[in-house]
Amino acid sequence: MTDSCIFCKIVSNEIKGDIVYRDEQVTAFRDIQPAAPTHILIVPNRHIESVNALEVGDEQLMGHLITTAGKLAKEEKIDQGGFRLIMNTNADGGQTVFHIHLHLIGGQPMKHPMG
């Protein structure tokens, strides 16, 4: 937990998030500015700034983010139609919140270009 981190505050219930899933490792909540009909952010409960801050030993946690995204895609009924998973890092990646998060986006054909 870091005092100024908005996602730490959502994880700890200090500020309200539209939480769709939570376990001992991760929390998933709807993006405040959805880019598509389904736009969910999956975050580790522990504060990690970005992919640049990952360490040996974080593999299971990162894998859990992805399997949670797959489970939520099924719940949202976008698994068969398809969806996109995005993890932005630093300025060139378009990262604006520095608590690592996986975007699960779907429910419409993706328009957002790669690169």
**Closer Cβ to ligand 5GP, 6 or 57, answer by number:** 6
Q: Which is nearer to Zn ion, 45 or 84 (CB)?
A: 45
Nearest approach, Cβ of residue 81 and ligand 5GP (Å): 21
User: Which of 32/70 has CB closer to ligand 5GP?
Assistant: 32
Size of the chain, expressed as the number of residues it contains: 115
101 is catalytic: yes
Helix (H, G, I), strand (E, B) or coil at 93: helix
Per rule CB under 6 A, is residue 17 in the interface with ligand 5GP?
yes
Q: What, of ligand 5GP, Zn ion, none, does residue 80 touch, CB below 5 to 8 Å by kind?
A: none
Residue 74 CB, nearest distance to ligand 5GP (Å)?
21
Instruction: Find the helix or strand (DSSP H, E) in which 96 lies.
Output: none
Q: Distance between CA 48 and CA 88 in Å, rounded?
A: 13
Contacts by 84-90, CB closer than 8 A, 24 or more apart:
84/110, 84/112, 87/51, 89/50, 89/51, 89/52, 90/50, 90/52
Binding site for ligand 5GP (CB under 6 A): 6, 17, 29, 31-33, 41, 88, 94-97
